[in-house]
């Protein structure tokens, strides 16, 4: 574990406990246990969990898990809905304020780095309307020419903020090209607050790459055994199109390919695994091991969770002192 730090130690800021890390590190289960122990409620910061009907492939906490702890920003959208960073920041800030007013502890849990830091750093993000014609063109380019062609297209815009874009995430990459085209800034002119809005303990979960890859393989098998294919087939029969932003969640378009006889089962499964490995790389770019704002815990260390609980207890107790 790295030394405990916090984003902003000012006592007049709302204290927020945040659980971050790469996919398959166990953020959901740890967040729920923290909420139970410290009278907390969870604010979801994983963009895949916003959508109803996308449960298995997103590893969404099930109804039993959620029955013991209130969750915010889960199952709030239909897969057809459009939702961006500025929408999330507005909703998450409202949820945190509501939780704090009721005397509960806000716990932000998720692996979407842009959403996490946008929230903790107080980004101000202008709301730029999507460009449907350009988006359709970019989706087609992604399908026919691949991700690298979109990465190249973003670089060719010469826009500011390109280095902050998750270029391995097709949905974020397409949105960045839209913003770059509209404003000349791939981040749409997002600005950090000079003073972070929250007093945040950032708990980072980590493990060696081989461990995470093994956990991903096991998770994919569990999801497929749990009828993930049927989940995607139902979305398709309900009129959800494969090109919608919600379907950029890893595995959904790949399973569309299988249903539509575009790919073999083995190729689809490997594409899902590859997508998750690339996601880990993208998440590691947002959550860096040397970032002293993050207190890192190796999930392979015995009883690491007990250490997390002790750290959180001391941190929260200190902030309750008068």
Q: Minimal CA–CA distance to 29: which of 77, 68, 73?
A: 68
Q: What pLDDT is attached to residue 3?
A: 40
Asked if 200 contacts 193 with a C-beta cutoff of 8 angstroms, the reply is no
One-character DSSP codes across 123-148:
-B---PPP-HHHHHHHHHHHHHH-HH
Q: How far apart are CA 45 and CA 125, in angstroms?
A: 16
Residue with tokens 């989706």: 139
- Nearest alpha carbon to residue 274 among 20, 26, 23: 23
Q: Which of 100, 133, 95, 127 is nearest to 13 (CA)?
A: 100
pLDDT of residue 9: 44
| pLDDT score for 317 | 94
Q: How far apart are CA 105 and CA 111, in angstroms?
A: 20
Q: 321: pLDDT confidence band, cut at 50, 70 and 90?
A: low
* Assigned CATH for 211-280: 1.10.287.890
Question: At 81, is the pLDDT very low, low, confident or very high (cuts 50, 70, 90)?
Answer: very high
Residue bearing the bigger pLDDT, 131 or 209: 209
- Tokens 């929408």, residue? 87
φ and ψ of 238, to 5 deg: -85, 0
Q: How does the average pLDDT of the chain come out, rounded? A: 92
pLDDT computed for residue 161 by the predictor: 85
Dist CA 154 CA 167 (whole Å): 9
Looking at residue 107, what is its pLDDT? 99
What SS3 class is residue 106? strand
Q: What percent of the chain has pLDDT over 90?
A: 74
Q: What is the mean pLDDT of residues 25-40?
A: 98
- Cα separations (Å) of 27 from 81, 150, 279? 26, 31, 15
**Please, which pLDDT band fits residue 153 given cuts at 50, 70 and 90?**
very high
* Nearest residue to 272 (alpha-carbon basis) of 260, 262, 284, 257: 257
Question: Hey, where are the domains in the chain?
Answer: 14-123+194-207+292-320, 132-183, 211-280
DSSP string, 222-244: HHHHTTHHHHHHHHHHTT--TTS
CATH superfamily of 14-123+194-207+292-320: P-loop containing nucleotide triphosphate hydrolases (3.40.50.300)
pLDDT digits (tens, 9 = 90+) for 156-214: 999 888 887 878 778 888 888 988 998 898 877 677 777 889 999 999 999 999 999 99
């Amino acid at each position: 574990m790295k030394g405990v730090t916090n984003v902003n130690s000012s006592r007049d800021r709302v204290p927020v406990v945040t659980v971050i890390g790469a996919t398959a590190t166990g953020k959901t289960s740890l967040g729920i246990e923290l909420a139970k122990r410290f009278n907390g409620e969870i604010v979801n910061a994983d963009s895949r969990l916003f959508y109803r009907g996308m449960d298995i492939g997103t590893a969404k906490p099930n109804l039993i898990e959620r029955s013991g702890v209130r969750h915010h920003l889960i199952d709030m959208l239909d897969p057809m809905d459009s939702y961006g960073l500025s929408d999330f920041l507005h909703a998450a800030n409202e949820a945190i304020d509501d939780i704090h007013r009721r005397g509960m502890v806000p716990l932000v849990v998720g692996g979407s780095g842009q959403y996490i830091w946008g929230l903790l750093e107080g980004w101000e993000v202008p709301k730029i309307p999507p460009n449907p014609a350009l988006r359709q063109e970019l989706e087609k380019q992604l399908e026919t020419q691949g991700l690298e062609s979109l990465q190249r297209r973003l670089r060719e815009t010469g826009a500011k903020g390109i280095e902050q874009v998750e270029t391995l995430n097709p949905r974020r990459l397409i949105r960045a090209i839209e913003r770059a085209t509209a404003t000349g800034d791939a981040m749409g002119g997002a600005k950090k607050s000079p003073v972070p809005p929250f007093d945040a303990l950032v708990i980072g979960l980590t493990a060696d790459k081989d461990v995470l890859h093994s956990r991903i393989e096991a998770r994919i098998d569990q999801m497929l055994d749990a009828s993930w294919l049927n989940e995607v087939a139902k979305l398709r029969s309900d009129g959800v199109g494969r090109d919608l932003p919600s379907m950029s969640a890893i595995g959904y378009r790949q399973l569309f390919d299988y249903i539509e006889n575009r790919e073999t089962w083995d190729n689809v499964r490997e594409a899902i695994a590859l997508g998750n490995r690339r996601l880990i790389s993208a998440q590691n770019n947002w959550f860096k091991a040397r970032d002293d704002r993050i207190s890192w815990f190796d999930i392979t260390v015995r009883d690491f969770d007990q250490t997390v609980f002790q750290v959180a207890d001391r941190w929260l107790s200190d902030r309750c002192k008068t």
